[in-house]
Chains A and B, each alone.
Chain A
């Protein structure tokens, strides 16, 4: 098992390198950079006194170097003006827009981003699992039809529109601000049980909104998997031998059906993280989402680059966890290569 974990984490390293390169490439795509744009603006305004300072900054952040060198400096594999000082060394860069280190800009939002995504995945597991089993074991019942119908709508309703609609309805009916992370009176207050409860209450709606489509997909998947297993002969044999229905279900078919279920959740993680970004913007949750949008709009390259990378890493870690879970459940993966799916 340890060997498997080690190998799996080692495999992430090249992926991370490729992703960081892609991220840097995308962030650097727009012509110019934040500072050279400012210089141009200042020059056209006829102010040349502060240009020298900006030129100094350009050198300081090594924006005047060739692309590959900039990338390596950013990651921390190449000496910049201050020696090796990049992501690997723990320097996340400088945000030009806020005139602060990136760390201070995004730092407060990172825990909530992680909590929100984790809560969503947990929500998908907890809700889709019992409903999937229910739908499969009582196929063609009213409950099954109801959930299938709900699932179709959940799958098709885009999550940020759902967020918008819910936001409107809550505002209309209850005069309640669903947006934000806590009730206004707790902002800038020290942490207390009431404040924590308020945060939890505000997490419910976004979690449901982001998790709906994933949950719907998982219910359908688990139902199909389980139905395939339930019609196999060993189930009939078990029943003929007098096993209780409950034991029979939990001991055999469920174990077979749960593997693809967990593997699929891994595949859903990228779209959930995607969803969390835009839903956060719509509901103005203090996660990395809104910061990313403003950073992209003002071309604050180190800030947006870091957030993109962070979001990608979050996804990778999520997939890692789901792979490890799969390995715990399925000895074939732990011991041999990868199980054919």
Chain B
């Protein structure tokens, strides 16, 4: 240390000049990634954010698979929804096997022998392990009318010639449960979509009026929303659908049901729309539009709506499951759809008597897709809601 202090030779500080030209905006420069982020559209950013929510993405995939049943029910189901097989009443599910006596055969089911147990007067089914019925793929079997347009008989998979393929068993009249589920998806899954559309239209209308005009309109609509929200939904749904005339065809009953489901669901959406509108109305760009003489309709649709479309989609997704459940509950109670219309609730109707269910548990099968779909919609809605505000 002391040597340093006594060192009298002057130190030369090296002069350093950066040969690069000076960029005054150096601190504001963005990395490529940031640039991409700031230039992306709102929807793109939402997509990025949504993709990070793994469970939501997978739920979306599951839902897409389920929704494939809507257009292609006839092709996916091996039997018709109301086809009866009087030989197989209350037949149990046929498990799919791969190996027969130690060697690979490919997916097949064993044939079933049926006989009546004279003591309990029940049909008893037993696997006949000699009879291997190979499942056929991309095949033709039971004919159907595709979309009611033309006749066809192509199926994704079908039972062996002269054999049976009851993946989830049959019901009281020998109708295949699996085919019932596939056809039922058509009504059960769309009931929520149509209902939500109705609820969005009503919610936008009332919420838009309340939020934009304020004043007496606002408080009147607010009171209405409060009253509707304080009513228990299901009993009202039950009463309304009991009011649908029995003489109506299934198609009309279906549309009546969707309207009923949408009719009681809009208050929640309207409230969200209103509060969002109230805050967006105060934004500068909205004020500017008003000052420039734009009419209320234009201000609402062109300037305010795009600001909260994403929120509406997210909250609408979250109300679809309750509608699906509503339909299921109503049909289960005989107050909604009835045969020949097939929905998951209609199928579940067979499971109303618990002592029957204890003997034939496969009648509960519709419970599984319902729970999966409801869960998936909940996760998807959660993911969408998080993504709806991408700048957070």
Contacts and interface: CB of A to CB of B under 8 A. Distances in A.
A88 interface: no
A63 interface: no
B335 A297 contact: yes
Q: Which 7 pairs across A and B sit closest by C-beta, in order of nearness?
A: A29-B243, A274-B234, A296-B242, A274-B232, A273-B232, A156-B375, A30-B243
A293 interface: yes
Contacts of B328: 158, 161
Contacts of B374: 156-158
24 contacts: A15-B226, A19-B231, A26-B236, A26-B239, A26-B240, A27-B239, A152-B378, A156-B374, A156-B378, A157-B371, A157-B374, A158-B374, A167-B357, A168-B354, A270-B231, A274-B234, A274-B235, A278-B333, A292-B238, A296-B239, A296-B335, A308-B235, A311-B232, A315-B231
Nearest to B228: A22
Interface string A271-312: 101110110010000000000110011010000100110011
Contacts of A171: 354-355, 357-358
Nearest to B244: A30
Interface in A89-110: none
A274 B322 CA distance: 12
Contacts of B165: none
B232 A277 contact: yes
B94 to A, nearest CB: 21
A324 interface: no
Interface string A50-66: 00000000000000000
B364 A155 contact: no
B227 A270 contact: no
Given A156-B374, A278-B333, A271 B239 contact: no
Given A158-B325, A293-B335, A18 B227 contact: yes
A31 B245 contact: yes
B71 interface: no
Interface in A154-173: 155-158, 160-161, 164-165, 167-168, 171-172
Nearest to B375: A156
B106 to A, nearest CB: 34
A127 interface: no
Contacts of A274: 232-235
Contacts of B370: 158, 161
Interface of B: 226-227, 229-236, 238-240, 242-243, 245, 321, 325, 328-329, 332-335, 348, 351, 354-355, 357-358, 361, 364, 367, 370-371, 374-375, 378
A235 B371 CA distance: 41
Contacts of A160: 329, 332
A277 B233 CA distance: 10
Nearest to A299: B242
A209 interface: no
B343 to A, nearest CB: 14
B335 A30 contact: no
Contact of A30 (B242, B351, B357, B371): B242
A22 B227 CA distance: 10
Nearest to B358: A171
Contacts of B332: 160
A277 B354 CA distance: 18
Interface of A: 15, 18-19, 22-23, 26-27, 29-31, 152-153, 155-158, 160-161, 164-165, 167-168, 171-172, 179, 267, 270-271, 273-275, 277-278, 281, 292-293, 296-297, 299, 304, 307-308, 311-312, 315-316, 319
B364 A164 contact: yes
A155 B371 CA distance: 11
A164 B238 CA distance: 19
Contacts of A277: 232, 234-235, 238
Contact of A161 (B239, B242, B367): B367
A305 to B, nearest CB: 9
Residue among B236, B239, B334, B367 with the highest chain A CB neighbour number at 10 A? B239
A155 B236 contact: no
A111 to B, nearest CB: 19
A170 to B, nearest CB: 10
A172 B231 contact: no
A22 B228 CA distance: 10
B333 A293 contact: yes
Contact of B236 (A30, A275, A308, A319): A308
B235 A311 contact: yes
Contacts of A304: 239, 242
A308 B355 CA distance: 30
Nearest to A14: B223
A168 B357 CA distance: 7
Nearest to B325: A158
Nearest to A26: B239
B233 A271 contact: yes
B353 to A, nearest CB: 10
Residue among A172, A274, A315 with the highest chain B CB neighbour number at 10 A? A274
Nearest to B330: A278
A168 B363 CA distance: 11
Contacts of A30: 242-243, 245
A31 B354 CA distance: 34
B371 A161 contact: yes
Contacts of A315: 230-232
Residue among B227, B335, B374 with the highest chain A CB neighbour number at 10 A? B227
